Amino acid sequence: MKSRGQTDDAVQLPTEAELEILNVLWAMGPSTVRDVHTLSGKATGYTTVLKQMQVMVEKGLLGRSERFRSHVYEARVAKEQTQQRLAGNLLRRAFDGSAKNLVLGALSSSKVSAAELAEIREMLDAFERGSR
């Protein structure tokens, strides 16, 4: 997914608007600007989405294929790696490196179901055992 010589750290973290585009591409796979514009559900204009995607190509977040009549864009960064980098960045910037405070902040920001809490407990147990 990365070009030769490109490390995860070399790719900038996506902005909120870029993350919306990435979420569409992660869900749908390679897509045209028109597809992303339609699926994003935002009132943003087509040309704005096009410009954002062109900038994302320059930043290394997207790749563009010109094999077809319409340019097809795809994410060049994996969803899981991007989420980990965003979480790490937020952990350092907003929670002084405290994973406990990050988790407490996330859990207290919205209602969490009993089933989701049970799943989180299982994941923490697995993480503690070293079997992420």
- Render pLDDT for 22-40 as a digit per residue (tens, 0 to 9): 999 999 999 999 999 999 8
Same-domain pairing of 68 and 119: no
pLDDT above 60 for 93: yes
* Residues 32 and 82: beta-carbon distance below 8 Å: no
On whether residue 16 sits in a domain, the answer given is yes
pLDDT band at residue 3 using 50, 70 and 90 as cut-offs:
very low
Residue 35: helix, strand or coil by DSSP? helix
Same-domain pairing of 112 and 56: no
On whether residue 14 sits in a domain, the answer given is yes
Same-domain pairing of 18 and 69: yes
Domain total in the chain: 2
Q: DSSP character for 115?
A: H
Question: Residue range 37-51: average pLDDT?
Answer: 90
Query: Among 51, 72, 63, 47, which residue's Cα sits nearest to residue 11?
Result: 63
pLDDT above 90 for 8: no
Query: The whole model's pTM is what?
Result: 0.78
pLDDT tens, residue by residue, 62-84: 999 987 778 999 999 999 999 99
What's the domain range around 20?
8-79
On whether residue 2 sits in a domain, the answer given is no
Same-domain pairing of 59 and 103: no
* Residues 102 and 120: beta-carbon distance below 8 Å: no
pLDDT above 60 for 59: yes
Same-domain pairing of 71 and 112: no
Q: How far apart are CA 82 and CA 16, in angstroms?
A: 12
On whether residue 1 sits in a domain, the answer given is no
Question: Residue range 9-13: average pLDDT?
Answer: 76
Same-domain pairing of 120 and 68: no
Q: H helices within 7-132, ranges in order?
A: 16-28, 33-40, 46-59, 79-94, 99-109, 114-129
Same-domain pairing of 102 and 75: no
On whether residue 32 sits in a domain, the answer given is yes
pLDDT for position 66: 82
